[in-house]
Amino acid sequence: MKLSVCIPVFNFDVRELVFELKREIKEQNINAEIILIDDASNHQFKTINNEIISEVNNFIFLEKNIGRSKIRNLFLDYTKGDYLLFLDCDGKIIKPDFLSIYIEYLKNNTKTDVLYGGRIVAKTLLNKKYILRWKFATERENLPVFKRREKPYLSFQTNNFIIKKDIFAKVQFDPEFENYGYEDLLFAMDLKSENVTIDHIDNPIFNNDLETNEAYLKKVEESVESLAKMLKKHSLRPKISEIKLVSAYNFILKTYSNTFFLLLFSLIENTLKKNLLSDNPNLRNLDFYKLGLLFRKMK
């Protein structure tokens, strides 16, 4: 079994991640390759990451940014492994046997097509300017493995997962969605529609790059834009109907209260944003804010 480690890179110093992967591959004599594709990063990050060109099997630098979905699909053209391990460039490996855990599981579970290992963040936060992203991660995203297994598709993320190459050749990321937001859940639902099972284990990556409250709120707005674009494609609506935000949107539509909801949102939008950018953000306010943005973008 050969493993291809696939790392899309954008404006991040990926040297530490690569060196840690190289260490385990060498020490454990793992049959693996490391492939990086840079999605038109800024010059300073290209210069920094140039140092590891000789440390990886292939490092492709794109001249034009192609987005989160297309760049992942592009790894099919450069990988030779039976399995592809996708890692985000801002991840940090915290287990010395990280690759070995995956390989051992796959050897013992040969029918596994897709495997998600999870993600964690710091248990305590030293700077409140990152609290919104940190709070969302700790309370909503980074679930223990037993919780993830209850809803294996909705709990899937793209920061740390393995997929059989032949499965990925059949089910790829939708290239229409280039920006941040919900492309991982759409991919999971595409897998579900093809009866591809997602397994979950406890083999997390540490999220090494929390955004400030302001930066994360902008990414939230971008993600809602992506979700609205998906909803406007009627063929995708059944696939994403399980997403909580979509369920809430559909419920309000069915009760014919969307006009009232939009009016209410316009009245309290600034109050919601003020709370979300504060030192003590309420995630229910974030839910309401997302839903208001979704209705506005769907008008």
Torsion over CA: 183, 187, 192, 198 (sign): negative
Mean pLDDT for the stretch of residues 291-295: 96
Please tell me the distance from the alpha carbon of residue 276 to that of residue 132, in angstroms, as a whole number: 7
DSSP element (H, E) containing 291: helix 283-298
Please tell me the distance from the alpha carbon of residue 47 to that of residue 67, in angstroms, as a whole number: 21
**Residue 57 and residue 30 in contact, taking contact as beta carbons nearer than 8 Å:** no
What pLDDT is attached to residue 181? Answer: 81
Q: Strands 114-116, 58-61: parallel, antiparallel or unpaired by DSSP?
A: unpaired
* C-alpha torsion angle, residues 30, 60, 178, 7 (rounded to 10): 20
pLDDT at 208 over 80: no
pLDDT at 205 over 80: yes
**What tens digit of pLDDT does each residue of 33-55 get?**
999 999 999 999 999 999 999 99
The count of C-alpha atoms lying within 13 angstroms of the C-alpha of 110, restricted to the half-sphere facing its C-beta, is 2
**What tens digit of pLDDT does each residue of 174-186 get?**
988 877 888 999 9
Please tell me the distance from the alpha carbon of residue 128 to that of residue 130, in angstroms, as a whole number: 5
What pLDDT is attached to residue 176? Answer: 86
**What tens digit of pLDDT does each residue of 210-264 get?**
899 999 999 999 999 999 999 999 889 999 999 999 999 999 999 989 999 999 9
What pLDDT is attached to residue 136? Answer: 94
Please tell me the distance from the alpha carbon of residue 279 to that of residue 132, in angstroms, as a whole number: 8
pLDDT at 209 over 80: no
**What tens digit of pLDDT does each residue of 65-119 get?**
999 899 999 999 999 999 999 999 999 999 999 999 999 999 999 999 999 999 9
Q: What is the pLDDT of the chain when averaged over all its residues?
A: 95
**Residue 20 and residue 93 in contact, taking contact as beta carbons nearer than 8 Å:** yes
CB neighbours of 104 closer than 8 A, spacing ≥ 6? none
